[in-house]
Amino acid sequence: MRVRAITLRILQQFIHDKRTMALMFIAPLLVLSLMSLVFNGNAYEPKIGVSGGAIPFTSALEAQNAKVVPYKSADLGKADLQESELDALVTLNGTSPEVILEGSNPTANRAVMMAVSAAIQNFHPANAGQGQMKPQISYLYGAEDMKTIDRFGPIMIGVFIFFFVFLIAGVSFLRERTTGTLERLLSTPLKRWEIVLGYVCGFGIFTVFQALLISWFSIQVLGIMMAGSFGYVLLLTLLLSMSALTLGTLLSAYAANELQMIQFIPLIIVPQIFLSGLFPLDTLPLWLQRVGLATPIYYGSEALTNIMIRGKGWNAIDLDVYALIGFSLLFMLLNVLALRKHRKM
């Protein structure tokens, strides 16, 4: 009987908390659909540039499902390779092809290598096995021995920082509301924007240390590949924290308790991880790629990958930096407006 009473009570609580119920049913579906889109997408089509001398090679590559872009000269191709527009550039050097891999993505590297070696065999079947056509391979970024962690490292740094700051800031702002201290604050001459800015500064100081520690640990202790400037890594992790902090405090306005705050994880965090560039985005439907453009982690991990793997500087990350600052400012503004729910002036 008592077990029945507890069972019944739990069912009643679920029925009253429609949001939790919806989440139990809908969130797994959402995450699973995303997964199937990400992992079930078409096989990765490498984008290979082919410069002047190697043009005859084109059709053989295309037969291997590679996307081939012809270039008039090797230099033009190299420029695009540096911008990461291409996965690899093939030039004909004497009789054997020279392959320069973009290198930052092991998946793309493998796809290129498979396409190139198959194309060579088909192009000169007579020479197969004689070793004359063995391609010369070099890496623009990264290296042959780049491990998966090197590829995922920059993205995971961004993801974890975002995740923890989002939750902690969100729950702490939520507590202000549930314990009544928010109402107490709003009964003082404090302005709404002062609360929001105070939160950003207070947590901001903490996130500086967090960014320092996490970046240092990943690079020095875990030995994740680091080709660029440590200062930029710090800047990016910090900006990512800021966007997580401001989004967390904003969304806490729409959570009634800590549990409902945690429910934002499958809705806000998980989709961002899938769309962050951890998995090749090119295989996703276009609309889903566009959704990715509206998430802070996307910009954070793009910039971190550019710094840590490609060793790039300010010119490569400036847009990402502006995007993250823009997100933070937008979330702060929306939070000031959301606080109107509690006090209009």
Partner 1 sequence: MNQVNPVIAVTHVHRAFGSREVLKDITLQVEQAETFGILGPSGSGKTTLVKLLTGIDEVTSGEVKVLGTLVPKLSLLQQIGYMAQSDALYTELSAKENLEFFASLYGLKGGNRVRRIADVMEIVNLQEHLRKRVDQYSGGMKRRLSLAIALLHEPPLLILDEPTVGIDPVLRQSIWKELRALNGKGTTIVLTTHVMDEAEKCDRLAMIRDGQLLAVDSPKGLLQSAGVASMEDAFLYYGGARR
Residues near partner 1 (CB under 8 A) are 179-181, 183-191, 342-345
Q: What are phi and psi of 136, to 5 degrees?
A: -90, 125
**Choice between 130 and 187, CB closer to partner 1:** 187
Report the distance separating Cα 299 and Cα 317, nearest Å: 9
Taking the complex as a whole, how short is the minimal distance between the CB of residue 306 and partner 1, in angstroms?
Answer: 40
The amino acid sitting at 157 is I
Looking at the Cβ atoms of 96 and 172, the one nearer to partner 1 is 172
Q: Residue 261 Cβ, how far from partner 1 at the closest point, in Å?
A: 18
The distance of closest approach from Cβ of residue 249 to partner 1 in the complex, given in angstroms and rounded to an integer, is: 17
φ, ψ at 50 (rounded to 5°): -125, 125
For residue 325, the minimal CB distance to partner 1 (Å) is: 28
Q: Give the nearest distance from C-beta 185 to partner 1 in angstroms.
A: 7
19 or 184: whose CB is closer to partner 1?
184
Q: Min. distance of Cβ 175 from partner 1 in angstroms?
A: 9
C-alpha 168/C-alpha 145 separation (Å) is 37
Shorter beta-carbon distance to partner 1: residue 67 or 342: 342
Distances (CA, A) of 201 to 205, 209, 282, 322, 332: 6, 13, 38, 19, 12
**What strands, in cross-sheet order, belong to the sheet with 96-101?**
67-71, 47-51, 88-93, 96-101, 136-139
Q: Which helix (H) or strand (E) holds 218?
A: none
- Nearer Cβ to partner 1 (118/197): 197
Question: What's the token pair of residue 64?
Answer: 């291997």
- DSSP secondary structure code for residue 135 in this structure: P
Q: Which is nearer to partner 1, 67 or 191 (CB)?
A: 191
Cα gap 135→48, rounded to integer Å: 14
Nearer residue to partner 1 within complex by CB, 323 or 338: 338
Specify the amino acid at residue 310. R
Q: How far is the CB of 187 from partner 1 (least distance, A)?
A: 4
CB of 184 to partner 1, least distance (A): 4
User: What size, in residues, is the chain?
Assistant: 345
Amino acid at 145: D
Q: Which amino acid is at 100?
A: I
Instruction: Give the tokens for residue 7.
Output: 């069972």
Tell me the closest approach of the beta carbon of residue 195 to partner 1, in angstroms.
Answer: 10
Choice between 36 and 181, CB closer to partner 1: 181
- Work out the angle between the directed axes of helices 2-16 and 18-40 (0-180°, nearest 10): 70
Q: Which is nearer to partner 1, 2 or 344 (CB)?
A: 344
Let me know: does 130 contact 124? Beta carbons within 8 Å.
no
| 3-class SS of residue 68 | strand
Min separation Cβ 242 and partner 1, Å: 24
Closest to 204 in 3D by CA, of 247, 241, 240, 167: 241
User: From start to end of the chain, where are the E strands?
Assistant: 47-51, 67-71, 88-93, 96-101, 136-139
Distance between CA 232 and CA 115 in Å, rounded?
35
Which residue, 44 or 173, has its beta carbon nearer to partner 1?
A: 173
